[in-house]
Structure 1
């Protein structure tokens, strides 16, 4: 393979990987229609043990006071809040804004009816919920 062919292959491979990374990022933080109240839906992981359901909601940059709603109704968990755009100190130019911001809502149908939230903690950019089975 000549040096020119190798360089062309490297650039093509880099572009293919960048396109794949962009596609994965779009899937991770699904945007919703602008005409709706919510602007984005955070991704969730759900785990079940014999005693409880554990839910992890990815909420980068969201504080406890930014959560506006956290409830379970029947078999559905509802999480809502707001993530503001972080503003760095000083004079900063915005070059890229990929992390979703604005109002978020997420409804998750859980694998067990009649759950009650017994604990929640925001840490490392995630909301960790414990829902006890009744």
Structure 2
């Protein structure tokens, strides 16, 4: 029984190590030449009687580096998370927040919308889309 636990624990550690390596590879720093987005932020989208509200998780992103548009019936959130200057000379032990260009396209409910001034709240970009009737 003891050997089975040790074997299972060893396999679990191996799986976690591989998952961590794949996670780091997925979010490798993109070359500065690349203009394609390397990651997509998670977005919540809810609708009220008068508005559609979107909340995009963008901790550490400067609001001036974010573009919000409506294109072909979808909300498009694009921008870039830049590596903090102090990270450039530091020994990095873990880098889990994705860096580089991001873009997220979220289909909107049918209708016409006006984008209100987006704001940052607790590391999230809050976007209010007023329904135009």
Distance (Å, rounded) in 2 between the aligned partners of 1:109 and 1:17: 34
Structure that is richer in strand per residue: 1
In structure 2, the partner of 1:116 is: 114
In structure 1, the partner of 2:125 is: 127
Cα distance change, pair 52–20 in 1 and its aligned pair in 2 (3 A): farther
Structure 1 stretch 55-64 or stretch 87-96: which is displaced more? 87-96
User: 1:7 deviation in Å?
Assistant: 2.2
Gap regions ≥5 residues in structure 2: 28-32
1:85 to 67, 83, 100: 83
Q: How does 1:39-118 map to 2 (within 5 A)?
A: 39-67=38-66, 69-73=67-71, 75-88=73-86, 92-118=90-116
Please provide the CA RMSD for this pair: 3.2
Distance (Å, rounded) in 2 between the aligned partners of 1:59 and 1:90: 21
Gap regions ≥5 residues in structure 1: none
Which contiguous aligned blocks of 4+ residues in structure 1 show a shift greater than 6 angstroms?
20-23
TM-score (ref. length: structure 1): 0.72
